[in-house]
Each structure stands twice: as C-alpha cells, then as structure tokens.
C-alpha cells in the first residue's frame, strides 16, 4: 500500500535565531515519533550560543576540519600539477573557485571511462561497477519510514513506477543516453555514460530477459524523506556544495525532513519542498551482460529473488523567500505548515530516478566539494 495517513507534528524544542545573515530563519524543532527518536536541539544549545554550537558540531564544520587537515598533511607538490592531490582537497579547491574544472588533467576527467574499459578488456566482471545487481544481493527492504504528510498514491502510481523501472532497463539495453535522460537525474546519467561507452568500445552489450515464473510485478514503498530548502535543483550538477548551507534534520508530521538553509540566502531565489521515495521492485524483467553473443554475466537466480531497489525524487511545492521564512517560523512555533498556501507542483510532477540498486550510494542532493 503506497498511501499513509498523517499525524500531528510534535515539536519539543524551540530554537531562536540561526545566524545574523538570515535573521528571519528559524530552525525546525526536534520531535519524537513512536518509531524514531531525534536528538533534541535544545539539549545541544543549552550551554552554548546557537551560532557557536552550529559551527562546532554541524556535519558541515566537521567536514571542513577534515578537509583542512587533509590539506595540511598532504604532500607538497608543484603548483602546476594537481594529479596527485587527494579527491577531497580537489573538490574543496573547485568549490572555492581556486581550481577550474577545465584545468583538470585528462587522466582525471576520463578516469571512470578508462576504468570501465580496462576491466571489460580483462574480463574483470567481478569488480565491474554496474547499475544493476547481477549478483542477487538486493532483497526486499524492511520499512524504514512510510509516514508522509501527503498521500503517496495521489502523487505517483504503480504504473508510473514500473514505467520508469522498465524505461531504465531499456535505456541500458539500447545503450541510449537520450532514452535514459528522460527519467534519470543528470549526475546519475553522467556516471552511466562511461559504462555505456566502455560496453560499446569492448564489444559488450546488455540484454533484457524475462523470468516466466514471476507472474506479476511487485512494488513496495519502504522509505520516504522530505527536503526543504532554497536554491536546490534536482540536477545535482547545478547545486552548490553542502558547505554553503546549514543543515537540520528533523520531523514533519512524523516524516523525516532535511532543511537546507543557505548561509548567504538570495532574495529572489525560490525554495522547494522535495520528496524522495525508495521502492523495492520485483519484476520478471532482468538483465544479462553479453559479449559477442554469449552471456558473460547472468543474473544469480540461485541466491537472488529478482528484487531491485530504486529511488525517485520529485518536487512537491514551490515557495517564495518570504513564504520559506514563514514556513520555518511556523514549524518553530508549532503551528505546522498549511501546504495549500504554496504553489502546488504535483499536478505536473516530474519524477527523476536518482539511484538504482545502490549504484549512486543514495546520490545525495548536496555533497562536500563539487560535482565532477
């Protein structure tokens, strides 16, 4: 069942001002549900000023310290060469504008592609990263959170989910990026392209097959997450580093929500509420890897049960900056959100596949450093 009712928003702690740059922004209060407990923000703020506490305990700051340490301990090198720099230092330099992506050596730009080609040439299939679980390790997932402030059945149908699933497999089979980009998020697609190029170059292909023993497809929702923030695009390549944001994880009507607050907010930028849905899908359709007409990697039907894992993301609402500030204040005061006050984007909802079988490791909306 894809739809779930709502429950009252429970707010335990009131947080005052976030920072001087955004005086009207307030942090959502932490809350507790019967199945999930989040750390109270008031406990963290009791003995410290909010800005000082956020600077010393937030994941962003922890990563900054890590990056700084990495920079200090890295081996000194010629300024004209960046090939030996650690990945996290490179991404930090790019995000700060100290290094232009165009200045990267070709060896780094083509690293993914070269790796794919090399492994295919060596028939190193066990170590070939591919966006489909041939090994049968993916199983039906246990429920993590299925609470949602919006009835899921009203914004996505079983037919839509299976259409995206089948279209993704067809795109891999046809080695067709134009077909894939219809439903696949841009950054995810950029990671698929080296694989598709490598397959073609080394005379490999993907074939779609059917398990006749599976009479009907099965779709199970097992996790729902909300994201609220300004200046956020589903296209990860357009987003700034997470270092540009203050991040708060809390609950809204018993549904986990991550709030991203820009450290330097723009007056004209709109904010959006996004939803991420994770599904377990069991289908009769599966893939095999071929080389010159022969199967070189088959699906492991002995250990696997033809379950796969896909994550979809879509935009629910659009808010002006004034509405965004008001929404944060409303959450803080305990009034909750009146979702009907904001621009509804669900009537023409555009779903994007952001991960399949864990290939993108969740494909977070924001990352440390810059996207490659």
Q: Where are the beta strands (DSSP E) in 320-367?
A: 343-344, 352-356
Average pLDDT of the chain is 77
- Identify the pLDDT of residue 243: 87
Query: 284 pLDDT exceeds 60?
Result: yes
List the domain boundaries for the chain: 18-57+110-356
Query: 78 pLDDT exceeds 60?
Result: no
The predicted-structure confidence for 156-202, as pLDDT tens digits, reads as follows 999 999 999 999 999 999 999 999 999 999 999 999 999 999 999 99
Give the 3-state secondary structure of residue 251: strand
User: What percent of the chain is modeled with pLDDT above 70?
Assistant: 69
Contacts of 232 (CB under 8 A, 6+ apart): 239, 260, 271, 272, 274, 365, 366
Cβ atoms of 127 and 296 within 8 Å: the answer is no
Give the 3-state secondary structure of residue 226: strand
How far is C-alpha 202 from the chain's CA centre?
A: 31
Helix (H) or strand (E) holding 286: strand 285-291
- Identify the pLDDT of residue 331: 74
Query: 56 pLDDT exceeds 50?
Result: no
- Identify the pLDDT of residue 70: 38
Query: 5 pLDDT exceeds 90?
Result: no
Average pLDDT over residues 273-282: 97
Q: Hey, which of 92-96, 105-109, 214-218, 338-342 has the most confident mean pLDDT?
A: 214-218
Query: 346 pLDDT exceeds 90?
Result: yes
Tokens of 267: 């007056």
The predicted-structure confidence for 245-267, as pLDDT tens digits, reads as follows 988 888 888 899 898 988 887 77
Contacts of 334 (CB under 8 A, 6+ apart): 9, 11, 29
- Identify the pLDDT of residue 37: 38
Contacts of 323 (CB under 8 A, 6+ apart): 271, 341, 342
Give the 3-state secondary structure of residue 6: coil
Average pLDDT over residues 17-21: 35
pLDDT band of residue 333 (cuts 50, 70, 90) is confident
Cβ atoms of 151 and 1 within 8 Å: the answer is no
The predicted-structure confidence for 139-153, as pLDDT tens digits, reads as follows 999 999 999 999 999
Q: Are strands 307-319 and 285-291 parallel, antiparallel or unpaired?
A: unpaired
Give the 3-state secondary structure of residue 262: strand
pLDDT band of residue 97 (cuts 50, 70, 90) is low
Query: 291 pLDDT exceeds 60?
Result: yes
Q: Return d(Cα 203, Cα 292) in angstroms, integer.
A: 6
Higher-pLDDT residue of 365 and 109 is 365
How far is C-alpha 250 from the chain's CA centre?
A: 17
Cβ atoms of 226 and 257 within 8 Å: the answer is yes
């Amino acid at each position: 069942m894809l739809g779930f009712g709502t429950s009252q928003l429970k707010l335990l702690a009131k947080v005052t001002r976030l920072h001087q740059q955004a005086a009207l922004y307030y942090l959502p209060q932490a809350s507790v549900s019967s199945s999930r407990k989040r750390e109270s923000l008031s406990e963290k703020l009791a003995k410290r000023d909010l800005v000082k506490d956020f600077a010393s305990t937030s994941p962003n700051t922890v990563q900054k310290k890590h990056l700084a340490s990495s920079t200090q301990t890295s081996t000194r090198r010629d300024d004209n060469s960046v090939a030996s720099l650690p990945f996290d230092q490179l991404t930090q330099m790019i995000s700060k504008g100290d290094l232009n992506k165009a200045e990267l050596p070709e060896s780094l730009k083509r690293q993914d592609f070269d790796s794919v080609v090399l492994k295919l040439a060596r028939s190193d299939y066990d170590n070939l990263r591919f966006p489909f679980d041939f090994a049968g390790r993916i199983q039906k997932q246990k429920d993590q959170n299925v609470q949602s402030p919006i009835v899921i059945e009203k914004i996505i149908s079983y037919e839509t989910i299976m259409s995206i699933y089948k279209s993704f497999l067809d795109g891999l089979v046809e080695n067709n990026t134009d077909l894939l980009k219809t439903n696949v998020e841009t950054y995810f697609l950029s990671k698929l392209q080296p694989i598709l190029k490598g397959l073609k170059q080394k005379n490999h292909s993907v074939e779609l097959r059917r398990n006749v023993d599976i009479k009907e497809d099965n779709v199970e929702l097992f996790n729902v997450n909300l994201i609220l923030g300004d200046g956020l695009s589903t296209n990860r390549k357009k987003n700034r580093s997470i270092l540009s944001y203050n991040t708060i994880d809390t609950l809204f009507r018993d549904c986990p929500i991550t709030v991203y607050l820009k450290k330097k907010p723009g007056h004209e930028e709109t904010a959006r509420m996004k939803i991420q849905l994770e599904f377990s899908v069991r289908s009769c359709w599966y893939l095999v890897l071929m080389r010159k007409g022969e199967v070189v990697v088959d699906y492991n039907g002995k250990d696997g049960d033809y379950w796969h894992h896909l994550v979809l993301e879509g935009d629910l609402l659009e808010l002006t900056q004034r509405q965004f500030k008001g929404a944060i204040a409303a959450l803080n005061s305990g009034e909750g959100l009146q979702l009907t006050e904001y621009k509804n984007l669900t009537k023409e909802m555009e779903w994007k596949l952001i991960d399949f079988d864990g290939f993108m490791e969740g494909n977070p909306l924001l990352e440390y450093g810059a996207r490659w």
